[in-house]
Every structure is written in structure tokens, then in C-alpha cells.
Copies of this chain bind each other. A is one copy, B any other.
Amino acid sequence: MTRDGIPTPALLLDLDRFERNLARMASHVRTAGKHVRPHAKTHRCPEIARRQIAAGALGVACAKLGEAEVMAGAGIRGLLITTEIVAPPSIRRLLRLLAEAPDTLVVVDDARNVADLGRAAGAEGHVVNVLVDVDVGGRRTGAQPGAPALALGRLVAAHPSLRLRGLQGYAGQCAHVVGWKARRDASHVAMAALMQTRRLFESAGLPAEIVAGGSTGTYDIDVELDGLTELQAGSYCVMDLDYRRIGGREGEAFTGFEMALTVVATVVSVPTADRAIVDAGLKAFSTDKPFPPEPVERPGISYGFAGDEHGRLAITDPSRPPRLGERIEFFPSHCDPTFNLYDRVCAVRGPEVEAVWDIAARGRSD
């Protein structure tokens, strides 16, 4: 199959750019003396996870147990599930997962959950690898830094069926701060709470061999932290408009990674001279960001959502009107929820489709 023969709308991965992104991240963390465990919630695709690991990643992070089940089933190891697992049926599923992938790491932020996990693991003879999840200002999950996190760490360490491995602190509020210096300042403030908690763990003789955090936005900021051992950036492998705009160390462009993910659409209607309609709407692109998809190397048009299955192209250069049947690629505004709309991604190199990969964990938010 060639790129031009793919039915639209479809998700395309530019392999040259993707491979450069993986190589750059690998080189970056190696130089910094750190590791990366990329967040697979971005792509939910075992083949991408496999390639990240082949490029040196420790494994992959998963937002949810359902994602981890798919990754484990595909042979991926070194999993870290970054959201707390609390419901009793979910804890039972986790134990089945551990039978297959015993090195899987989970996170906790609640004493009762620690007890529930420990009891269930003990009953089946498992030992669960645990990180204490610390709220570093993102106001999402996580124990409060300092004494509350330390108390939780002691509980984990004291349980014979749990093995404390360290800490997780994800500063989501810093990831998209525009301007590298402002982002660095924000991340330093946030991550200081994690570093202070790590020191408390060490003083108390608690293990902190793993301290995980960081985003694509702070990939070249958080590695400055002595106490951080691994990044859990996700979007870097494909990028998106939301990350492209945040600015980089050297100036206004975020040059760390390349835009490797596009959606290809077809012009299905040119009803008047001033507009054209493509077959990709809000079921083809993420819609959670305040800016629309952007045409790739196709000047003279701009995109606006026009319902579930349609996008309206405004014609900004009348000398280049869209033609009926024309194929146009667009960068999505947010890669993670865009991947989650598709069952497959077409891995392309120039005009050729080299492979089609299953997004096997798509929809596995459970």
C-alpha cells in the first residue's frame, strides 16, 4: 500500500521523524545519566513501546491497568501503572497481570489502598513493586509531599507483600508552560517538593531507587535534578501542536522533537468557491485543546471543526483552492486522545506505508 491509497481519515506516523525522536531521547537521557520509561498512554501501541524499549527505555508507563494488560500481553515488560488501582476487582486483575509481568510497578497515595493491595497480594503470594505517588502541585492524584508521603512510604515498606521502590511525582501543570525559562522555574518549584520527599525517604532509610517524573515539556529541565532517576515523557515520540508551541531552550521553537503524527483526510465536497469540506471532524481529531488541527505543507487553507465527520476548510489563498478528492494531512492538537480514536496507525516513510500497527490498547482506560 502507498500513502495515497490509505482510506481516510487515517492516522499516519512518519517513521523517519519518529525514529529520530526516539534516538534523541535515548541520547539525551544517556548523556544526563538518567533513564526514560516513556508514557504509553500517548500511543497505546505495543509496537511503538517495543521500539522505545529497543532504543533503550526501561519499559513503558501506562496510565491504566487496561493499558498495562495489553502491553503485558504483547510481551512488554518494565511497566509502571501511573494511576492508583483501588477497586477490588481491579486489584484482582492487577494480581493476574503480575503473574505475567512481575516487575510491574504500581503507585499508591492512600493508606487504606496500601492495606488492600498488600492483603490481596499476600493472599496470592505476590510481592508488589510500589512507588509512593506524590502530588507536586498538579492537584490530581498523589499524597501530599513531605510527612504524609513519608508516612505512606513507611506503611508500604513495612508490608511483607509490598516492596517499596521509590517515588513518582508528575507535574502536569508545568508541561505546557510557554517559554523555556518560565517552564524551568515552574518545574523546579514543583519538583523541589518531590526532591525534598526523596531526602526524607533516604533519611528514614526507605528505598528511593526509582524517582520518576517529568513530561515532554520538561524533558531537558528535570534531568538537572540529582534525585530524579527516570523521565516518563510520552508525547516526545510523535509530538503535537500543543507541545510545538511551548518554546525551547534556544528560542521560540521547541526543537527537541519532530512532528511525526498526522491525520490524512480527503476533500469530499467543494460546494462553493469559498469553502471545502474534508471527511475528518471531531471523531478524527482530539478536541480538548483550544486550537484546531493545522494543515501540513498545504498553504492557502485553514481548518475548522464542522461536526462529527466534517472539517470546513476556509480558503485563505484563492489561487490554491482545494480540489474535490484532494488528500490533505493535518497535525492534531493533542496526540494522546487522537491516537485513542484509531484502531491502527500507518507507519509511513515518504510515499510508502512500511507497516500498519495495531493501537491495541485503544479504549483501554479501564
Interface residues of A, Cβ cutoff 8 Å to B: 5, 7-10, 41, 63-64, 66, 83-90, 93, 109-110, 112-113, 135, 139-144, 172, 266-272, 275, 277, 279-284, 286-288, 305-310, 312, 324-325, 336-337, 340-343, 362-363, 365-366
* CA gap between A308 and B172 in the complex, in Å: 11
Query: Which residue from B41, B63, B86, B266 sits with its C-beta under 8 Å from A266?
Result: B86
**Could you tell me if A307 and B110 are in contact, using CB atoms closer than 8 angstroms?**
no
* CA gap between A110 and B363 in the complex, in Å: 37
Minimum distance in angstroms from A106 CB to a CB of chain B = 12
Q: Which residues of B lie under 8 Å from residue A363 when comparing CB positions?
A: 283, 341-343, 362
Q: Which residues of B lie under 8 Å from residue A5 when comparing CB positions?
A: 89
* CA gap between A363 and B339 in the complex, in Å: 11
Helix, strand, loop or mixed for chain A's interface?
loop
Q: Taking A283-B340, A287-B288, A366-B10 as contacts, is the C-beta distance between A310 and B140 under 8 angstroms?
A: yes
Q: In the complex, which residue of chain B has the Cβ closest to the Cβ of A344?
A: B363
Most buried by B among A85, A87, A143, A324: A87
Q: In the complex, which residue of chain B has the Cβ closest to the Cβ of A64?
A: B309
Pairs A-B, 10 closest by C-beta atoms: A141-B269, A287-B288, A7-B366, A63-B309, A282-B288, A84-B268, A287-B287, A283-B340, A283-B365, A308-B336
* CA gap between A279 and B340 in the complex, in Å: 16
Q: In the complex, which residue of chain B has the Cβ closest to the Cβ of A362?
A: B363
* CA gap between A135 and B87 in the complex, in Å: 51
Query: What are 14 A-B residue pairs whose CB atoms fall within 8 Å in the complex?
Result: A41-B309, A83-B279, A83-B309, A83-B310, A109-B269, A110-B324, A139-B312, A140-B269, A140-B277, A140-B310, A141-B269, A144-B272, A281-B365, A309-B365
**Could you tell me if A270 and B110 are in contact, using CB atoms closer than 8 angstroms?**
yes
Q: Which residues of B lie under 8 Å from residue A66 when comparing CB positions?
A: 7
**Could you tell me if B284 and A87 are in contact, using CB atoms closer than 8 angstroms?**
no
Q: In the complex, which residue of chain B has the Cβ closest to the Cβ of A269?
A: B141
* CA gap between A117 and B308 in the complex, in Å: 25
Q: Which residues of B lie under 8 Å from residue A287 when comparing CB positions?
A: 286-288, 337
* CA gap between A269 and B133 in the complex, in Å: 11
Query: Which residue from B9, B135, B324, B340 sits with its C-beta under 8 Å from A112?
Result: B324
Minimum distance in angstroms from A301 CB to a CB of chain B = 15
**Could you tell me if B275 and A139 are in contact, using CB atoms closer than 8 angstroms?**
yes
**Could you tell me if B337 and A282 are in contact, using CB atoms closer than 8 angstroms?**
yes
Q: In the complex, which residue of chain B has the Cβ closest to the Cβ of A175?
A: B307
Query: Which residue from B142, B267, B307 sits with its C-beta under 8 Å from A140?
Result: B307
* CA gap between A140 and B235 in the complex, in Å: 33
Minimum distance in angstroms from A178 CB to a CB of chain B = 18
**Could you tell me if A310 and B365 are in contact, using CB atoms closer than 8 angstroms?**
no
Q: Which residues of B lie under 8 Å from residue A271 when comparing CB positions?
A: 109-110, 135, 141-144
* CA gap between A275 and B142 in the complex, in Å: 12
Q: Which residues of B lie under 8 Å from residue A112 when comparing CB positions?
A: 324
Minimum distance in angstroms from A343 CB to a CB of chain B = 5
Minimum distance in angstroms from A20 CB to a CB of chain B = 25
Q: In the complex, which residue of chain B has the Cβ closest to the Cβ of A279?
A: B83
Minimum distance in angstroms from A308 CB to a CB of chain B = 5
* CA gap between A93 and B8 in the complex, in Å: 13
**Could you tell me if B337 and A283 are in contact, using CB atoms closer than 8 angstroms?**
yes
Q: Which residues of B lie under 8 Å from residue A135 when comparing CB positions?
A: 271
